[in-house]
Structure 1
Amino acid sequence: MNIDDFVEAIAPQSEDYSKISRNSYAVLFEVADRKKTGKVTEADWNAFVSLLGQPDAEYQIAFKLFDTQRQGAVNFDDFVKTYDEHKSEDALPFDWTSKWVSLYAGKPDNRTPMSYPMFSQMLSGLLGERVRQAFGHYDPNGTGFIDRLQFEEIIRKAASHKLSDKLLNNLHVVCDAKVNGNDTNKISYAQVRALLNVIRHADLIDKLTVVATKNSPDGQVDRIQFMDAASKNTKGSLLSPLEVDILFKLSSLGDSPSLSSEKISVESFKQAFDPLWLSPEARYAKSLGKKVDAAKNALTSPHTFLGEVFESVYNFSLGAMAGAFGATVVYPIDMVKTRMQNQRASTPGQQLLYKNSWDCFKKVIAREGPRGLYSGLGPQLVGVAPEKAIKLTVNDLVRGKAADKNGNITLPWEIIAGGTAGACQVVFTNPLEIVKIRLQIQGEVAKHTDAPKRSAIWIVRNLGLVGLYKGASACLLRDVPFSAIYFPTYAHLKKDYFGEGPNHKLPIWQLLVAGAVAGMPAAYLTTPCDVIKTRLQVEARSGETSYTGLRHAFSTILREEGPAAFFKGGAARVLRSSPQFGCTLAAYEMLHNLLPLPGHGASTEAGYKVPSSSDIPQSPVHHIRSRNALKILLDIDENFGKPGTLTPERAALIPGLKKD
């Protein structure tokens, strides 16, 4: 593979490159291209992947990058040359002839090659030395203080890739009159060093915060509680009092009014020291924007679109399984609904089979047994999951195509999106519907004609491909308006009634209430089409009118039975949603815990929520390891990997490469 293919492999376009430019990943090509041919062979790629799997991969990659002569040691002059090629024009001043450098590479007139252990140790301390030298540059008189703007420049250039934008925009809170006397525009070297140590131990502090807040009722701990947890879970004092003070100040930048500089929580710590942290509003907008972009580019990048809808399909799949359980519980109501819809007007000398729904229910049990109430359940369960997946994918696709850059969509397009989703599902659901209905009806047919009961497989074979789509026109007339009503109603109930948004996640019961309420008008208003579909798909008994098509069925039912016939079973279609809601709720919560989405872990609260930083699924391992390696390189210089690695012409060839 060439450099373009390499960047595509280790830096997926779907990842976040707000802190580490996607261009920078191209510098790793020099490590993978072992023979310097400009191409990475399969053997080279396998070796690079194996390297990424090493526990010290980050340091090994940096070592191999600077070991330009492939001698197993880094020549100091080669190291400085590579550094000069990659450093930014306004880099922090650094003296490579300083005493600190001599401690690792020898005196300037007698530099010695650095072995892997020596080189990796030098890199681990390089960031601290860069900050120390930069501080000395801005404090030439050795006062021990620099002004606030100089301090912010040092931190931004040295460690912006390790900090959130929230913290970088609030670095001034480190300046405190209690430390600096009356001069609040000055900051001491002790404070700079304390902040740097907190950054260095950020991963460990993150884990300690989780431990410290584990048993806290409000998820927050004060300084004493945090330091107590740190002393119990580490050997010795991890943080000095000044470092703890800065930690709590910077972790109090949250939006929660209940959180002050006296308290810290897991999320408040992440918002300061997680470089990828975003506010709930930004996460919400970004998630929505990615879905819209993926939908707009679905034809050119189908994998990206399918990846974006995967989580939604997962939720709907669990909902489908839970719905299958709920459908099983209320299936007898569906059975009664179908029998009542198929019952024709009585003719002279012939009585109606069922007086009402309750009479139908009793007679089915009496004549066919309890199992008769579940005839045709199999096709119903088979069709639940695919139906949900098809409807969701098509609805998301059309909504994404019609949405503006902010994800907003007009009501007409919402209706079109829902209707299109309903139309697409008919291709799959109509065959299952006709099989289900014939299984539901054959019990009463067999009772009156002594006809043998048929299996679902026999019905499919007997109908053939064309027969399976009998009544498809009526199915379209039912499912298109159903989805056109259901999806917009569901979306607006969530947003306008329950207040779903970036700061308000909806619990599962609200989602299911919204779904149940949205389904009520959709179900009842489309009952006439459901009646016609049922009549078309059921085999007419001897003496009954055989319908030749949609229009014939409509006119015949209207003439023989009157307008009221079109709403037979309408109440049952609506009423079955109430018990189904409770059963589906219980099943959905259980499935979310038993079958968590990969990378998310078990959920204690099912339902949609704005993802927090800890909820974000894990990136591909290639990208994680490569990103960690770049973090070490960025400790050398903030611009490492951008210039000198990709020419503008070559960068333009990499699909989706973010132009800096």
Structure 2
Amino acid sequence: MAFETESQKKTYCLLGDVDVYDVAVVPKELELVDKNASLDVPRFRFPDVGQSFKDFFNTREVGEFVSGALAGAMTKAALAPLETIRTRMVVGVGSKNITGSFIEVIEQQGWQGLWAGNTINMLRIIPTQAIEFGTFECVKRAMTSAQEKWKQECPKLQIGPVNLNLSVSWISPIAVAGAAAGVTSTLACHPLEVVKLVPSMHGSKDRLTISPDVYPSISIALRKIYKEGGVGGLYSGISPTLIGMLPYSTCYYFMYEKLKSSYCLAKKKKVLNRAEMLVVGALSGLTASTISFPLEVARKRLMVGALQGKCPPNMAAALAEVIREEGLLGLYRGWGASCLKVMPSSGITWMFYEAWKDILLVERRHL
């Protein structure tokens, strides 16, 4: 007869209510925990939207995007009168000198006329500068990173006994980024430039910047241009605009970065102060504007002529028309007014942009 040892003994418990018919005997190891204990059911948690937005707006890209927008808005508000005079002179409306244009605007529309069309300028410059600076910084970083990887794993091309290293070190990330910034911002914001500049399709030379009679508001201008020309009307002159933008934008960013790095190297310093940024930015704008100004004159003539019904067939024809009518100096008509606007504009824009980056990206110190 076998006996169970102490360790082999099992205890049992009763499950069920007091009714004996519902009683079941099971080992005590399977005894349920307290009947009244609540089950641990997984809880559904809503995502922290606020934190997601906070993390998004704290990224470097958003900081650069916002810095560009704020810099553009502040610069445009300060320099709106010069933009009005420059536009009048480039298109050929009114007086042919800066002082005469100022006097004409004040006599015809009062002091507020110097800010005529500034609303559309602000609406145009804020997204334009935001997209432009944001694109420039992103493309520059991407190109620099790609070049570093390409150096480490540089592919080779063998043609017979000749081995060629496919190096891309000769490509300037700054130049590529500058070109990409100009093209991207132009494609995104060109309709606002058309509304600001072009005359009506009936041949009137009045524009939103010069006289608000034809286009009393931005929404009316957009609807009218779209009704008369469709999407193509809103993108009137996009081809010459892109052609003119490429050399300007490429040179503009390239000159600023190179002048800044050369000056810092010569002075043995890491960053520029605000006054130095102002001067370097102004010089970069002057250089870029001088190189690309004939294309700017041809571009404005094409945009205006397209809606007047007497548009030259292409940019080369527009340049030839200007030379035929006004000589070689006609290619630089309004250059003085343009420099008067471009130099302070580019200088102030870079100064504000770098200042806002210091504020918005202070924790990351990417500057």
Question: TM-score band (shorter)?
Answer: 0.5 to 0.7
1:390 aligns with 2:122: no
Shift of 1:436: 1.4
Native 8 Å contact 1:318 1:588 kept in 2: yes
* Alpha-carbon contact 2:281-2:347 (below 8 Å) kept: no
* Number of the residue aligned with 1:241: none
Pick closer, same or farther for the CA change 1:446–1:491 going to 2, 3 Å. closer
Determine if the alignment matches structure 1 residue 455 to structure 2 residue 246: no
Tell me if structure 2 keeps the 8 A contact 1:331–1:374. Answer: yes
TM-score between both structures, scaled by the size of structure 1: 0.38
Q: How does 1:341-352 map to 2 (within 5 A)?
A: 341-343=90-92
CA distance in 2, matches of 1:581, 1:343: 24
1:554 partner amino acid: L
Kindly tell me: are residues 565 and 342 of structure 1, through their superposed partners in 2, closer, same or farther at Cα, counting changes over 3 Å?
same
> What CA distance in whole angstroms lies between the structure 2 residues aligned with 1:572 and 1:407?
45
Structure 1 counterpart of 2:140, from 395, 399, 402:
399
Distance 2:136 2:355 in 1: 27
1:328 maps to what in 2? 77
1:590, 1:493 → 2: CA distance? 18
Report the secondary structure of 2:183's partner residue.
helix
Residues 340/452 of structure 1: CA separation in 2 closer, same or farther (3 Å cut): same
Counterpart amino acid of 2:338? R
Letter in 2 for 1:321: L
Which residue matches 1:553?
Answer: 318
Q: Which amino acid aligns with 1:320?
A: A
Structure 1 position 444, deviation (Å): 9.1
Deviates more, 1:310-319 or 1:561-570: 310-319
Deviation at 1:511, TM superposition (A): 3.3
Q: Return closer, same or farther for 1:393/1:590 CA change in 2, 3 Å cut-off.
A: closer
Alpha-carbon contact 2:195-2:222 (below 8 Å) kept = yes
Instruction: Please give the secondary structure, in 2, of the residue aligned with 1:526.
Output: helix
Counterpart for residue 66 of structure 2? 317
Indicate the residue corresponding to 1:535 in structure 2. Answer: 301
Give yes or no for contact 2:186–2:242 (8 Å, CA) kept in 1. Answer: yes
Q: TM-score, normalised by structure 2?
A: 0.65
Alignment of 1:220-369 (within 5 A): 310-311=59-60, 313-315=62-64, 317-343=66-92, 353-369=94-110
Which position in structure 2 is the counterpart of 1:436? 196
Cα contact 1:470–1:537 (8 A) shared by 2: yes
* AA in 2 matched with 1:337: R
Shift of 1:569: 1.9
Contact kept in structure 1, 2:301 and 2:318, CA below 8 Å: yes
Task: Output one character per residue of 1:605-652: Cα deviation in whole Å (capped at 9) or x when no partner.
Answer: xxx9568xxxxxxxxxxxxxxxxxxxxxxxxxxxxxxxxxxxxxxxxx
**Consecutive unaligned residues in structure 1, runs of 5 or more:** 1-40, 50-305, 345-352, 601-607, 612-660
Contact 2:105–2:114 under 8 Å retained in 1: yes
On the 8 A contact 2:285/2:347 being kept in 1, the answer is no
Gaps of 5+ in 2: 1-39, 49-54, 152-168, 200-204
2:232 aligned partner: 466
Alpha-carbon shift at residue 515 of structure 1 (Å): 2.3
After superposition, the C-alpha distances for 1:399-424 in whole angstroms (9 at most, x for unaligned) are 34433338996454432332222122
Per-residue CA deviation, residues 11-47 of structure 1 (Å, 9 max, x unaligned), is xxxxxxxxxxxxxxxxxxxxxxxxxxxxxx994896x
Equivalent position to 1:487, from 235, 239, 253: 253
Q: Deviations over 1:542-596 (max 9, x none)?
A: 8x95445434423322222222222122222222245547866886698679xx4
Rate the CA distance shift 1:598–1:414 in 2: closer, same or farther, 3 A. Answer: closer
Contact 2:294 2:319 in 1 (8 A): no
Aligned AA for 1:497? Answer: Y
Offset of residue 329 of structure 1 = 2.0
Aligned residue number for residue 92 of structure 1: none
Show the counterpart of 1:518.
284
Asked if the contact 1:434/1:538 (under 8 Å) is kept, the reply is: no
